[in-house]
Amino acid sequence: MTVNRNCYWVKNLALFMLLAFLLGALSFGAVVAQDATDVLVWSLGYSGDYNDTLVERFNEANDDVNIVYEDVLTGTFTENNQKVRIALENEAGPHVLGGVDVGANLQALVSTGQVLDLTEYYRASGLIDRIPPNLLSQVTIEGRIYAIPQNMESVGVFYNKDVFAELDLDVPTEWAEYIEVLEAVKDAGYYGYTMGLAGGWPSALMASMFMYSSAGSEYIDVLSGTQPWTDCDNCLDGLNAFYGMVANGYANPEPLGIDYDQSLDLFYQGINVMVLNGPWFIDASASAEPDFEIGFFYLPAVNPNTDIKTLGGIGGSLIVAEYADVDAAFKLLDWLTTEEIAVQALREVSVQPAFSIDVPDDIAPLTYQIASETAANVDKIGFWPVTYLPPKVFGDMNQIVQGMIGGMLTPEELLSEMQETHSDYLAEN
Amino acid sequence: MAQTLSAAGKRSHNPRFRLDLIPYLFILPAVVIYVVFNLGPVLASFFLSFFKWDLLAPTTEFIGFRHYDFILNDDRFWNALSHNFIFLGLAVVIPVSMGLILAVFIYEIGWGRVFFRAALFLPAIFSGVVIAYVWKWIYHPFAGVLNPTLELIGLGAFTQSWLGNPKIALYSTFIAYTWASFGYSMVIFLAGLQDISTDIFDAARVDGADFRQKLFYITIPCLYDVFTFVITLRIFTAMGVFGVIYILTGGGPFYSSDVIDIYVFRMIGNFEMGWATAAATVNTVVVVFISTGFIKWREWRSWSS
């Protein structure tokens, strides 16, 4: 009996100590958790897996700031922009957000005071010396800087290396050579230019690519509304060159009957030989597993005197919400803008960072080539039209370009239609 | 007067009057849900159409009818509305006729009724998005089945860029819409047919009426109210068509298949809430006018005959 009573006593003591230990551990955890400042993040601006990796690594390395990651930006760009706008307006959104579209979207957020002015942060962190001035200008509004460009995109021609080898073709560097390549490809029974414009996208971008390569920064004046569309003769030359892809049989037939993704299938299947695309195409084409090797070159300029080499711009930017804890948010920005993270982004998701870094040469050859060429031509990249055009006008441009490709409008009529659409919008706003 | 007031005062104690409130209590949850999620947004949209608001700005500016002025002077708005009317004209004829013909067919055949009913209704249970993607591949100029099938049966001259040709893009989307919608008309007609007393058909048979006479003198007149319902339903869906067109053509090429809901959606996507709500309000007024006018006309015809 005595033994049993002692057993109960020991058991009760052990149980009490265990409970006390658990309570103590919980209290300690709570105290530690209270010390860490939560930073709500909806995206760090990269593809899903890399976002997860970054969050995990940051939280492991930092005790005082804790990223709370919510994967809510699962819709289209437009839907995501709407979510962000509404959430920020109601102070219910993320504290730090990556992958934000600049241009009209950033301007709208800034005009209502939803995002933090990062000008002083740029100076204090030295970031101002690492971001090329033409990129900085895209996130600067009325002399103040509101976002950090994360990656640089430049559009070029991805081509089927096997077909080029089969036809003994060299990579073209001038417009006349490009046309010769297109002719040779056409004669061999392939299609040289990939075009899928059903639904509108990416009609305006493709047309802009050719207008940039003919008019250069004059096209930026047109997009900005400081020069009439109809006065831009170089833009007309670019449009004629673009229309020539269809009219001369260089592009696949039925460009308005298939959408963008369906047109890419033609490239993966080896029916089309070249496709105009950005660096994100490296990962996309790897997933499609084509049975040929892919190469890359910049589209030769329609007008050799143009000061813009290619279309592209900022793929996404980091912003800080006006209501965020500044110290915690800046700690995260410090970490995200390190060279180590930028190089890792280049390795893992083929994103060309906007920060000045040395492109490592131990990465995949195609990634290395595009990253190097982008870095070498960063001051010769014409930004996305939507950076300058109001979204409504850009949306209309997609339809209007379809009109030209479908033969309903001549290139001259396209410019007139754009002038009317653009000026109507500006007059109303 | 005193007697009347007294009588009115006594009414509240009448147990029958108290009992009459109970049905209203039963429908109250549905009414609340309707007001909050249907009527409320419609009224809010109407209200917002008089303000300049880009979805983000905490303040709005009252601008009166300026958005309506812009919308009503926008050629693209009228272009989209005209396509809705074309869709409406086709929708009240083709899916309704198909639904009626198939309903009569299923009603008349003695065997396989359950199979045909299920098979023909099957497209209607799919989401519009799924149907649109299926048709996107059917119409695909290189991998689609439509053009090769036409060539196989000797109709190669009719092969087309079904979604890329601006002259026919709207009608191509209408075919997908019809495929998705005739099943609804069919089951409603079938239910209506089963409501017609068999005595009438028996009497007609005794009198020597043939199939055509039974169809035009018994079946169709007896389905008068069903027609009203089915056509009203088509008016709503044709004027509010969105998903199928959005996925197949996005309203293009060059606005050739644009409809009001895509026009509104494009405005919302561009954060032009004022224009979007003004266009939606105009569309609502048009739909209410057409559907109410149609129902009143049917009631008047029914009453006058």
For residue B71, CA distances in Å to B2, B5, B79 come to 58, 54, 11
The pLDDT score that the predictor gives to residue B16 is 58
Average pLDDT over every residue of B177-203: 92
Could B161 and A198 be called an inter-chain contact, meaning their C-beta atoms sit closer than 8 Å?
no
> What is the predicted pLDDT for the residue at A347?
87
Calculate the average pLDDT of chain B.
89
With CB atoms and an 8 Å threshold, state whether B271 touches A257.
Answer: no
> B240 touching A, CB under 8 A?
no
Local confidence band at B304 (pLDDT 50, 70, 90 cut-offs): confident
The pLDDT score that the predictor gives to residue A2 is 45
Looking at the fold, whether A319 and A192 belong to one and the same domain comes out as no
| Residue A256 in contact with partner chain B when CB distance is under 8 A | yes
| A266 with B142: Cβ contact below 8 A | yes
Per residue in B81-91, pLDDT (tens digit) is: 999 999 999 99
Q: Do A317 and A178 fall within a single domain?
A: no
Judged on CB neighbours under 10 Å (0-12, 13-18, 19+), A209 is buried
Cβ-defined contacts of A3-11 (< 8 Å, 24+)? none
pTM above 0.90, yes or no: no
Same structural domain, A171 and A264: yes
Lowest-pLDDT range of A353-357, A409-413, B206-210:
A353-357
Confirm whether B8 is domain-assigned.
no
Q: Are residues B56 and B128 in the same domain?
A: no
Find which of A112, A428, A429 to mutate to test the B interface (most B CBs within 10 Å of its CB): A428
Residue A20 domain-assigned?
no
Q: For residue range A373-400, what is the model confidence (pLDDT) as tens digits?
A: 998 888 899 998 888 898 889 999 999 9
Q: Is residue A248 part of a domain?
A: yes
Task: Name the token pair of A69.
Answer: 């990651």
- How many Å apart are CA A116 and CA A138, to the nearest integer? 16
Same domain, B158 and B38: no
On the CB side of A17, CA atoms within 13 Å amount to 6
Please tell me whether residues A341 and A359 are part of one structural domain.
yes
Contact present, A85 and B56 (Cβ < 8 Å): yes
- Residues A74, A44 share a domain: yes
- Kindly determine whether residue B250 and residue A198, on different chains, have CB atoms separated by under 8 Å: yes
Distance CA B41, CA B32 (A): 13
- Interchain contact, A254 vs B250, CB within 8 Å: no
**Complex ipTM more than 0.90, yes or no:** no
In a domain, residue A10? The reply is no
Question: pLDDT, tens digit, for every residue of A140-175?
Answer: 999 999 999 998 999 999 999 999 999 999 999 999
Asked if A413 reaches chain B (Cβ–Cβ under 8 Å), the answer is no
Same domain, A180 and A72: no
Share of chain A above pLDDT 90, in %: 64
Check whether residue B58 and residue B74 sit in a common domain.
no
Range of the domain at A108: 36-153+313-381
Distance between CA atoms of residues A391 and B272, nearest Å: 9
Chain B residues 250-289 with CB within 8 Å of chain A: 250-255, 258, 266-267, 269-272
Q: Is A416 on the interface with B (CB under 8 A)?
A: no
| Candidate from A111, A262, A402 with C-beta closest to B254 | A402
- Residue B299 inside a domain? The answer is yes
Same domain? For B187 and B46 the reply is: no
Q: Cβ–Cβ of A112/B271 closer than 8 Å?
A: no
How far lies A198's CA from each of A26, A261, A334, in Å?
58, 10, 42
Q: From the candidates B54, B254, B255, B270, which should be mutated to test the interface with A, based on the most A CB atoms within 10 A?
A: B254
CA geometry: angle at B55 spanning A135 and A138, to 5°? 5
Q: Is A262 on the interface with B (CB under 8 A)?
A: yes
- Is B121 in the same domain as B54? no
Residues A125 and A141 in one domain: yes
Do A348 and A394 share a domain, yes or no?
A: no
Cα-based distances in Å from A421 to A229, A395, A425, B273: 11, 11, 6, 18
Average pLDDT over residues B236-249: 94
Contacting residues of A for B56, CB less than 8 Å apart: 85-86, 88-89, 108-109, 112, 114
Work out how many domains chain B is built from and give that number. Answer: 2
Per-residue pLDDT, A15: 66
Same domain, yes or no, for B23 and B133? no
Best mutation target, B60, B138, B259, B270, to test chain A (most A CBs within 10 A): B270
> Which among A257, A391, A209 has a CA at the least distance from the CA of B253?
A257
Residue A197 lies in a domain: yes
Instruction: Give the CATH number of the domain where residue B238 resides.
Output: 1.10.3720.10
Does B2 reside within a domain? no
Query: Within a domain: residue B156?
Result: yes
CB contact under 8 A, A200 and B252: yes
Tell whether A254 is within 8 A of chain B (Cβ).
yes
Contact A135, A278 (CB under 8 A): no
Residues of chain B with Cβ-Cβ distance to A402 below 8 Å are: 252-254
Q: Which residues of B touch A259 (CB under 8 A)?
A: 136
B139 & B180 share domain? yes
The answer to whether A391 contacts B164, with C-beta atoms less than 8 Å apart, is no
Q: Does A132 score more than 80 pLDDT?
A: yes
The CATH number for A194's domain is 3.40.190.10
Chain A residue with the nearest C-alpha to that of B162: A257
Together in a domain, A304 and A258: yes
**CA nearest to B247 within chain A:** A199
Q: In terms of domains, do B48 and B104 share one?
A: no
Among candidates A112, A257, A395 on the partner chain, residue whose Cβ is nearest the Cβ of B58: A112
Residue A25 has pLDDT above 80, yes or no: no
* Cα–Cα dist B271/A82, whole Å: 8
The one-letter code for the residue type at A236 is L
- The pLDDT of residue B56: 61
Residue B187 falls within a domain, yes or no? yes
> Residue B5 falls within a domain, yes or no?
no
pLDDT score of A11: 66
User: A101 and A127 share a domain?
Assistant: yes
The reported pLDDT for the residue numbered B108 is 87
Mean pLDDT of chain A: 90
Question: Where does the pLDDT of residue A350 fall: very low under 50, low under 70, confident under 90, or very high at 90 and above?
Answer: confident
Mean pLDDT of B19-33: 88
Bigger pLDDT: A408 or A17?
A: A408
Residue B162 has pLDDT above 80, yes or no: yes
A311 phi/psi in degrees, rounded to 5: -90, 150
Q: Are residues A302 and A359 in the same domain?
A: no
Q: What percentage of chain A carries pLDDT values higher than 70? A: 92
> Domain containing B41: what range?
14-62
Tell me whether residue A45 is in a domain. Answer: yes
CA neighbor of B282 nearest in space, from B46, B109, B57, B16: B46
Asked if B44 and B172 sit in the same domain, the reply is no
Residue A12 lies in a domain: no
A9: confidence class by pLDDT, cuts 50, 70, 90 = low
Compare CB distances from B140 to A114, A256, A258 and report the shortest one's residue.
A258
Asked if B149 is an interface residue toward chain A (Cβ–Cβ < 8 A), one would say: no
Task: Count other Cβ atoms within 10 Å, centred on residue B150.
Answer: 15
With b for 16 or more beta-carbon neighbours within 10 A and e for fewer, the B113-135 pattern comes to: eeeebeebbebbeeebeebbbeb
A120 confidence band (pLDDT: 50, 70, 90): very high
Asked, for residue B211, whether it belongs to a domain, the answer is yes
Across the interface, do A395 and B266 touch by the CB < 8 Å criterion? Answer: yes
Residues 178-207 of A with CB under 8 A from B: 197-201
Non-local (6+) Cβ contacts of A136 within 8 A are A128, A145, A149
Do B19 and B113 fall within a single domain? no
B249 touches A: beta carbon within 8 Å: yes
In this structure, is residue A192 part of a structural domain? yes
Nearest to A295 by CA among A187, A152, A163, A206: A163
- Grade residue B5 by pLDDT with cuts at 50, 70 and 90: very low
Instruction: Work out the percent of chain B whose per-residue pLDDT is above 70.
Output: 91
Q: How many domains does chain A have?
A: 2
Asked whether residue B2 carries a pLDDT value surpassing 60, the answer given is no
Q: Do A199 and B249 touch (CB under 8 A)?
A: yes
Q: Mean pLDDT across the stretch A221-235?
A: 96
pLDDT of A332 > 90? The answer is yes
Please check whether residue B6 lies inside any domain of the structure: no
Question: Number of Cβ pairs closer than 8 Å across A and B?
Answer: 100
Same domain for B272 and B141: yes
A63 and A191 belong to one structural domain: no
Please, which pLDDT band fits residue A219 given cuts at 50, 70 and 90? very high
Q: Does A111 touch chain B (CB under 8 A)?
A: yes
Contact state of A400 with B251 under an 8 Å Cβ cutoff? no
CB atoms within 10 A of CB B47: 11
Is the same domain home to B168 and B230? yes
Instruction: Compare A83 and A214 and report the one with higher pLDDT.
Output: A214
